[in-house]
A and B are shown apart, each in its own frame.
Chain A
Amino acid sequence: MATLRDIKRKINSINSTQSITRTMKMVSATKLRRAQDAYEKIKDYAKKMENLVGRIITKLPKDTHPLLTEREEIKNVLIVAIASDRGLCGGFNSNIGLAVENFIAQNKDKYENIHVYVFGRKVRDYLARRKINIIKERLDVKLVGMDFSEEVASELIKFYIDGEYDKIYLIYTHFESAVKYVVRLEEFLPIMPSEEEYEGDYLYEPSREKIVNAIIPKFLSTKIYYAIVDSQTSEHAARMSAMENATKNCTEMVNTLTLIYNKRRQEGITKEMLDIVGGAEALKGT
């Protein structure tokens, strides 16, 4: 049975854990604000770009651009999974890992090979433990710039053009609000025309081909950039709420333990009193 001193020690240790989680929560809150800023900045641009590209490619005749052409036979599939290097953020990383695992389990029979291109140490470890084929990993991705996403995008484009992969998917966490984030699975390549119909064709200057060739890489790198920023924002939000919960749980535990501690102390005092009274009574008799 735990002695008074053991309980006291336990309470102290929980208190110091709580001060750590509280600090981490505050740090995450600041980081969240910064990430959210970056996210808000790129949001409009990324969305308008997506719409514009959607409008342009619905007007293109079929099979004009290799990145827009769906291959008849899909053998090799690449999943780009974006998560983070660090833990202590609830289910953030394992949700991405799970989504990848599920995708592979569901599509195993359809395709010959499914490989993963991974962002973040935690998911890398998660997938490696499950013997999932990782072809490339990017760790320590912090504040990204456009040049970084351009590099990644051109890498992916090369994979597709060289025929190493016939389809590329993107899995990342989408930030909806500070308390809501969802895992998203999107088709990255080939680019699918949007469902909407747009009327009339454009007058192209200098030429349609030139515009399409210029806008597609730009669109893809914007998409990667947006997904990374989106994921980072979600990560900080997830960590913030995980730490908030941890802090709350600490308070609860300290309260319970303090109650036990006081009860136990009172019991000890009562017992000692009884001993003294009993002793005194016994002495009286002699």
Chain B
Amino acid sequence: MSQLDLEIITPERVLVKEQVELLEAKSELGEFGILPGHIQFLTTVDIGEVRYVKDGKTYYIAAGGGFAEVVNDKILMLLESAEMADEIDIERAEVAKESAEAALKELSPDSPEYKIQETALNKAITRLSVASKKR
């Protein structure tokens, strides 16, 4: 079976550089999946869960926003942040979630700070849900 070359790179490190069978992630328009033979594709990646399947096993990643490019069965993902499920610090994510929620209650939806806190909350929720899928 043909495979995909997957590279997930953040400003911190190269997180994944592997041959995988399937990749799924979230874009602005909803979830998308990539299988071998996909058309040339360029998309933004939203904060959310990224999954890939390697040797029949599914791996979960909590991703910050970024971009993904698919050319000739090569996937390049450039993400602002990304963590494997088993690396996530659940306590820290809980704290981040609570502080973002508290801050959101105080702020009016029009202030620029609101957006920042909303993003932080989204990231924290993603990390918590991904962490719960740890093998």
Interface residues of A (CB under 8 A from B): 41-42, 44-45, 48-49, 52, 55-56, 146, 200-206, 208, 210-211, 214-215, 218, 222, 225
Interface-facing stretch out of B11-19, B90-98, B103-111, B117-125:
B11-19
Interface residues of B (CB under 8 A from A): 7, 9-14, 27-29, 32, 39-44, 67, 69, 76, 78
Contact B27 A42 (CB under 8 A): no
- Residues of chain B within 8 A of A210, CB atoms compared: 28, 44
What are 29 A-B interface contacts by the 8 Å CB criterion? A41-B11, A41-B12, A44-B9, A44-B14, A45-B11, A45-B78, A48-B7, A48-B9, A48-B78, A146-B11, A200-B40, A202-B40, A202-B41, A202-B42, A203-B39, A203-B41, A204-B43, A205-B28, A205-B29, A205-B32, A205-B42, A205-B43, A206-B27, A206-B28, A206-B29, A206-B44, A210-B28, A211-B44, A218-B67
- Residues of chain B within 8 A of A45, CB atoms compared: 9-11, 78
Contact B67 A52 (CB under 8 A): yes
Could you tell me the distance between the alpha carbons of A225 and B12 in the complex, rounded to whole angstroms?
13
Could you tell me the distance between the alpha carbons of A50 and B67 in the complex, rounded to whole angstroms?
13
Contact A205 B11 (CB under 8 A): no
Contact A48 B42 (CB under 8 A): no
Known contacts A202-B42, A204-B43, A206-B44; is-contact A48 B76 (Cβ 8 Å): yes
- Residues of chain A within 8 A of B41, CB atoms compared: 202-203, 205
Q: Which of B13, B28, B32, B78 has the most CB of A within 10 A?
A: B78
- Residues of chain B within 8 A of A206, CB atoms compared: 27-29, 43-44
Q: Chain B nearest CB: distance from A52 CB in Å?
A: 6
Contact B44 A214 (CB under 8 A): yes
